[in-house]
Amino acid sequence: MKTKLSFLIIILITSFAGGVTVSAAAEAKKGWYPHIVDIEFVKKYAVIPKPADVLIIDARPTARKYDRGHIPGAISIPDSKFDKMTGKLPADKSTLLIYYCGGTKCKLSHKSAFKAEKLGYTNIKVYAKGYPNWVKSGGLKAVSVAHIKKLIDKNAKMVIVDSRPKKRKYDKGHIPGAISLPDSQFDKLSDQLPADKTTPLYFYCQGLKCKLSPKSAAKAIKLGYTKVYVVPTGYPAWKKAYGKGKLPAIKAGKESGSIAVSSFQQLMRDAPDTLLLVDVRDSDEFKSATIKGAINIPINELEKKMDSLPKNKAIVFFCGTAGRAGEAYDMLQLFNPGLKSYFLNAEITFNKDGSYTLKELE
């Protein structure tokens, strides 16, 4: 009888951590770390700016798992590299450490937690349900700048959004291809986001102390976008890893004064704000469909509006078949040759959503 009673007492021993009750006997059987927390506990600390007195640690492999998706604010210390990366742990051994990995079938977080305990850390928790539960519960997904670089290199379909102020931050340097959509102007400028709400959106700002990108990401989710991510380490991490970046050079096309279609497409992807797109077709054609972001100056109005064209951007004239665009370029060269201008020597098919296809003319 005493044996049975003792067994029942062991089963009833619980650890109350963040509202989660877990059987100590069951934990021991699984090889789990005894102090388990749930998503509600983690949510209190998975915020930006990152709290100073807590460290969330992803124990999964960095490149294959962490880079592609992790809890915001978490750092990567793979369990397989724990001994080599202990320098990333805080000096204060009373700091709250929250480990997680790939769910209840993954023991990496538990193994790392036991190792940290051996090093003398006294306030350790494990989010046993881990990243799968975080995603399933609607938690905001974070990626690294290394993952963004891979996506850019393979020309993946996505939109990168810089949530920082445009003049003070974006204009001085940004991730190549990112659009400027300051969080303070999100509601006014949200039409810059793609019509297709399944398009992956990646928001970033000024690092782990900046809350602009998570705020904008939350607004995008409310608008119905289904693949929304943040890049918590933001532009500082990008600049440190890959440099400030150089703007792509403009390459001339075969026709004098034209821009090569390949160069135009690269600039539209990597540095769209360096171009002013001018649709020189009639206003009714422009209203029907044009390239997203373009302004309309019909060819017969161009001469009187030349003085309004900017000196700090490359001006690209276009129409449907290059005739009027070429004429606009010639006119600007005649009356205001100091402006940097080109024309698209291409046949263009316009779509109502602002997208387009180009066929370079001989």
- Which CATH number does the domain housing residue 187 bear? 3.40.250.10
**Do residues 97 and 207 both lie within one domain?**
no
Last residue of a domain, one of 209, 242, 275: 242
**Do residues 60 and 127 both lie within one domain?**
yes
**Do residues 13 and 131 both lie within one domain?**
yes
Q: Which of 97, 91, 92 is nearest to 116 (CA)?
A: 97
**Do residues 232 and 267 both lie within one domain?**
no
pLDDT tens track for 163-185: 999 989 988 889 988 889 999 99
Indicate the range of 26-30, 77-81, 227-231, 247-251 predicted with least confidence. Answer: 26-30
Residue 333 lies in a domain: yes
pLDDT tens track for 141-165: 999 999 999 998 887 889 999 999 9
Last residue of a domain, one of 112, 136, 160: 136
**Do residues 7 and 123 both lie within one domain?**
yes
Residue 251 lies in a domain: no
**Do residues 132 and 147 both lie within one domain?**
no
Range of the domain at 338: 261-360
Q: What angle do CA 273, 279, 283 make, to 5 degrees?
A: 130
**Do residues 157 and 220 both lie within one domain?**
yes
Supply the pLDDT for residue 309.
87
Q: Which of 223, 159, 214 is nearest to 190 (CA)?
A: 223
**Do residues 115 and 148 both lie within one domain?**
no
pTM: 0.68
**Do residues 7 and 118 both lie within one domain?**
yes
Residue 250 lies in a domain: no
Which contiguous run of DSSP H or E holds residue 333? helix 323-335
**Do residues 222 and 341 both lie within one domain?**
no
pLDDT tens track for 83-109: 999 999 999 999 999 999 999 999 999
Residue 207 lies in a domain: yes
Query: Which residues lie closer than 8 Å to 285 by C-beta, 6 or more apart?
Result: 279, 320
**Do residues 290 and 324 both lie within one domain?**
yes
Last residue of a domain, one of 87, 106, 136: 136
Residue 121 lies in a domain: yes
Supply the pLDDT for residue 30.
78
**Do residues 9 and 132 both lie within one domain?**
yes
Residue 254 lies in a domain: no
Residue 68 lies in a domain: yes
Tokens of 110: 């538990």
Summary mean pLDDT of the chain:
89
Domain count, the chain: 3
Supply the pLDDT for residue 14.
41
Residue 256 lies in a domain: no
Tokens of 342: 């080109």
Distance in angstroms (rounded) separating the CA atoms of residues 46 and 220: 19
DSSP string covering 68-137, please?
Answer: T-B-TT-EE--GGGGGG-GGGS-S-TTSEEEEE-SSTT--HHHHHHHHHHHTT---EEEETTHHHHHHHT
